[in-house]
Chain A
């Protein structure tokens, strides 16, 4: 079946502009996570959704970052007034709840470059 998909795959934006990153989880996966991976670094947690609610937003770096999820499916991560330090690969993952597995399935990521 289809895996997690993300769009766009690459985004180049000017400093100060707003960007929206999209994540389509695996069908039926109710849990959705956003992570950020800077060059040569590990993955940094941003936010976690269970259905449409976000019980853990502790990783969002500043109030310029926000995310929403509608219909228990697609999620959008929005970064306002982008800064150069926002440049990174933004990864989305989804997980099927109710089963015995905790595995998070990752999407291919969106590479964001802020010039």
Chain B
């Protein structure tokens, strides 16, 4: 079955700097790669997603890149702000099927 590895487990950056979180997946049949943000005590919320027919997607300060050959995808957050502090999860799935999640990255933005 699918296995998703996420790195780093914790990340601390200065406000205004960029943050990058990386994930690898094992199942070449996976074609959907969402990123969720989870604030303390809150539900996970989708921040951006990408499908396997696209190499990069951007939404304001957030971007995701996908390398199907290497089976890895990354989340890039530019001009980080204190409200970006949260736990971020990557996931992989096949369309409408279940999602397999990474272990999460705790991102801290230092003012």
Instruction: Choose one: A4, A42, A59, A105; the contact of B98 (CB below 8 Å).
Output: A59
Q: For A35, list chain B residues within 8 Å (CB).
A: 101
Q: Which of B13-21, B41-49, B57-65, B72-80 contacts A (4 or more CB under 8 A)?
A: B41-49
Give the number of chain B interface residues (Cβ < 8 Å): 25
Q: For B6, list chain A residues within 8 Å (CB).
A: 42
Instruction: Assess whether A42 is in contact with B103, with CB atoms less than 8 Å apart.
Output: yes
- The answer for the CA separation of A41 and B49 in the assembled complex, in Å, is 21
Q: Assuming the A-B contacts A42-B89, A91-B43, are A104 and B103 also in contact, with contact meaning beta carbons closer than 8 angstroms in the complex? A: no
Q: A-facing mask of B76-105, CB < 8 A → 1, else 0? A: 000000000000010101011111111110
- The answer for the CA separation of A107 and B44 in the assembled complex, in Å, is 8
Q: Which of A17-25, A63-71, A72-80, A95-103 contacts B (4 or more CB under 8 A)?
A: A95-103
Which of A44, A45, A91 counts the most chain B CB atoms within 10 A? A45
Instruction: Assess whether A108 is in contact with B98, with CB atoms less than 8 Å apart.
Output: no
Q: For A97, list chain B residues within 8 Å (CB).
A: 96
- The answer for the CA separation of A62 and B11 in the assembled complex, in Å, is 35
Which of B95, B99, B100 counts the most chain A CB atoms within 10 A? B99
Instruction: Assess whether A103 is in contact with B49, with CB atoms less than 8 Å apart.
Output: yes
Instruction: Choose one: A43, A48, A95, A102; the contact of B44 (CB below 8 Å).
Output: A43
Instruction: Assess whether B104 is in contact with A42, with CB atoms less than 8 Å apart.
Output: yes
Q: For A58, list chain B residues within 8 Å (CB).
A: 1, 98
Among residues of A, the one whose C-beta sits closest to the C-beta of B43 is A106
Among residues of A, the one whose C-beta sits closest to the C-beta of B9 is A40
Instruction: Choose one: B1, B42, B99, B104; the contact of A104 (CB below 8 Å).
Output: B99
Q: For B46, list chain A residues within 8 Å (CB).
A: 103-105
Among residues of A, the one whose C-beta sits closest to the C-beta of B4 is A42
Give chain B nearest CB distance to A85 CB in angstroms: 18
CB pairs A–B below 8 angstroms (14 shown): A31-B96, A33-B98, A41-B104, A43-B101, A44-B101, A45-B99, A48-B98, A56-B98, A58-B98, A95-B96, A97-B96, A102-B95, A104-B34, A108-B43
